[in-house]
Amino acid sequence: MFFSKRKFLTAAFIAAFSATIFTGCGEQPKQQAQAPKQQVKVMKVVQRDTPLSSEYAGHLVGTDEIKVQSKISGNVVEKHVVGGQFVEAGQLLFKIDDRQYQSQVMAARATLAEAEVNLRNAQIDLQRNEMLLKENAIAEQTVTTQAALVKAREAACEAAAAQVKLAMENLADTEIYAPMSGQLGVDDVAVGAFVGAGSTTLVTIGSLDPIFAQFSISENEYLKFMTIQSSQAQHNPIHVTITLSDGREYPFEGQIVETDRELANNTGSLIMKAIFPNHGGVLMPGMFARVKMSGEVIPNAILVPQRAVQQLLGKSFVMCVGPDGKSVAKTVELGTQVGSYYIVTGGVTPQDTIVVEGLTNLREGVDLAATEVTAGEMGFTLANVTTPYQTDTISNATSNNPNAPGNLNK
């Protein structure tokens, strides 16, 4: 009796334990099925003709820059301009003490007058000797000697006349005029300063409109540039723009006008210059500028947003939505960066849908609750994000400066 009761209790315990195990095993799939899907935003892979651009560090230089120097030496006695002023070609800039040069003109004229008197006397003596020679009153040698003396006197007159001309030119050079229209530098000398002929810079003057952006490119980039010029120039011309140090893009395009004739030996780079209009005088020589050249177009390029690309162990991959609605990782080969995108050379197709938001802790094989978005909604663009200068800023700069190049109110 006791044995039967003990056997009954053992059977009941085993039955209860088995029920617990089977109940737990049955609840686990139920809990997995009820797990919430991960919320993500997705978009289709983009395929389109994509323009490429290259950027280079450069700086601005004036199209013409001249160091104004005096042809004569002396002290500056008058100054008709101030540093930074806009001047017109032929405008008076400085005046040098002319007293010694006036004296030189007077001395040269006196020497010329003396030489002319000596010439006239010699010519009179020659005429008299020629008449006496006809009457055989003097020797022929006397006439020949007098004729030679006349020629010497003529040469002396020409030399004296040249000295007068030189003295007058030196006197005229005491007034220094602007050789071109442009803006003066602030390196101008003060009144009273002594200047040496051909050695002292009175002031620097340069033209600011138009202005050059100078930059360097490598040999391979130059060859690529020439290929674009020859093959795509008609339907995809080269566009040149500059971005200034504050991150703003200058609103006017330029064009390549100068290319150096050889590569620099120490860097293997080639200097190029692009010219830009500068009507409002916003651009100044020496300013930093990033030069962007665009024009090359890759047809049917495959693009994925940069924020969708993840890096792991030197590999790049994106998360895609699989046919079953689960996340699938695909390794991609990245090309050039264009705006908010990478050009992808392999790994995905235009039919793929990729995750662009919600990638945090997202693993492969997770059920996704995908919301499709557009590039506009996500703020994706093919252009580099820069802030252009307002055209009214340039207009105000021009109107407020009556001497600025291009001002229509002058």
For 17-47, what is each residue's pLDDT tens digit?
Answer: 444 434 444 444 444 555 678 888 888 888 8
What's residue 230's pLDDT?
Answer: 67
Q: What is the DSSP string of 52-89?
A: EEEEEEEEEEEEEEEEEE-SS-EEEEEE---TT-EE-T
Dist. CA 278–CA 340, nearest whole Å: 31
Question: 179 in the Ramachandran plot: left (φ > 0), alpha (ψ -120 to 50) or beta?
Answer: alpha
What's residue 236's pLDDT?
Answer: 60
Residue 238's Cβ-count burial label (10 Å; 0-12, 13-18, 19+) is middle
Counting as low any pLDDT under 50, the low residues of the chain are 1-31, 385-410
Neighbours of 27 (CB within 10 A): 10
What's residue 33's pLDDT?
Answer: 53
198, two tokens: 């051909």
pTM over 0.75: no
Q: Which residue, 281, 289, 265, 284, is CA-closest to 215?
A: 289
What's residue 180's pLDDT?
Answer: 87
Dist. CA 407–CA 395, nearest whole Å: 9
Dist. CA 29–CA 303, nearest whole Å: 40
Residue indicated by tokens 């055209």: 391
Dist. CA 397–CA 394, nearest whole Å: 5
Which H or E run includes 283?
Answer: none
